Amino acid sequence: PQVFLAAAFGWAIPMAYVAIQGAPDIWCWLLFVAYMCWTVAYDTQYAMADREDDIKIGVKSTAILFGRYDVIIISLLQTLFLIIMGVVMWHYFAPTSLGLTPVFGLALVAMMFAKQNSACASRNALACFQAFLANIWVGRYVFALVAIACIWTTFNG
């Protein structure tokens, strides 16, 4: 279910690209993949909190699929998110007066992810659920980072 959720939520990215540019480009698809990685990661954290119930009712969640490698795979997905977002931000903002500043802003996201993974390593349902909830701050921060960078470059080049 986590991959389908990610695809359903993330489909807004190519839709927005088509609405603005007429067609998706490589940067659109990179953003889509980054979003998929992040969504599967945070929804797996949620699934880790529900693992026992999912086993009882037969839900094939990524928490069950990944098994004892769940935290490692979440970490890999989050790392892919950071790398891809860094590349996309570099593409859009490096040629501007901001340079690589927005890319360095992703360091805070990396710290947020490290804290989440530390909590999930216990496999405690409440800790995993709190890690899942912490992703609202990841989303808010990444949105603010991109929005401020876009506004800055609009007025300062």
CB atoms within 10 A of CB 59: 14
Mark the ranges of the chain whose per-residue pLDDT is less than 50.
none
- Which residues does 86 contact at the CB level (< 8 Å), separation at least 6? 103, 106
Question: Which residue has tokens 């490290």?
Answer: 114
Q: Return the pLDDT at 124.
A: 97
Answering whether pTM is above 0.85, one says yes
For residues 16 and 74, the answer to whether their CB atoms sit within 8 Å is no
Q: Return the pLDDT at 73.
A: 98
Q: Return the pLDDT at 1.
A: 84
pLDDT digits (tens, 9 = 90+) for 73-111: 999 999 999 999 999 999 999 999 998 899 999 999 999
Task: Write out the two tokens for 86.
Answer: 């860094």
For residues 106 and 89, the answer to whether their CB atoms sit within 8 Å is yes
Q: Return the pLDDT at 157.
A: 74
